[in-house]
Amino acid sequence: QLICSHMPWSNDTFGICHVASDPHYTSFDGVSFQFESPCTYVMSKVCDESGLLPEFAVEVQNEKKGESHVSSIQQVNVNVHGLRVTMMRTEKKKVM
């Protein structure tokens, strides 16, 4: 479930979201998740109905590995200012 809420900003406030394969996710608030279904997950997204902030979203696409019950990260999409940057597991050292 994606929930957006206001966080007061200061110079020492920031967050880190971590994603590791086989699929381990840690959210900005430090909570760990395991999303094992082959699906596309939204990792980060601007939630600003005023339109003052630029469009920004990070999506992670999981796919099953062979006969395994566990999926792994196959693709990461970064959408910013109407552009999509894609990094694929099968395309090493390339950003599209």
C-alpha span between 96 and 87 (Å, rounded) = 6
Secondary structure (3-state) at 76: strand
pLDDT at 30 over 70: yes
Mean pLDDT throughout 45-52?
82
Q: Determine contact, residues 16/28, Cβ cutoff 8 Å.
A: yes
Contacts of 21 by beta carbon, 8 Å cutoff, 6+ apart: 72, 73
- pLDDT for 12: 57
Question: Does residue 5 or residue 37 have the better pLDDT?
Answer: 37
C-alpha span between 61 and 52 (Å, rounded) = 28
Q: DSSP state, 1?
A: -
Stated pTM of the model:
0.70
3 falls in which pLDDT band (50, 70, 90)?
Answer: low
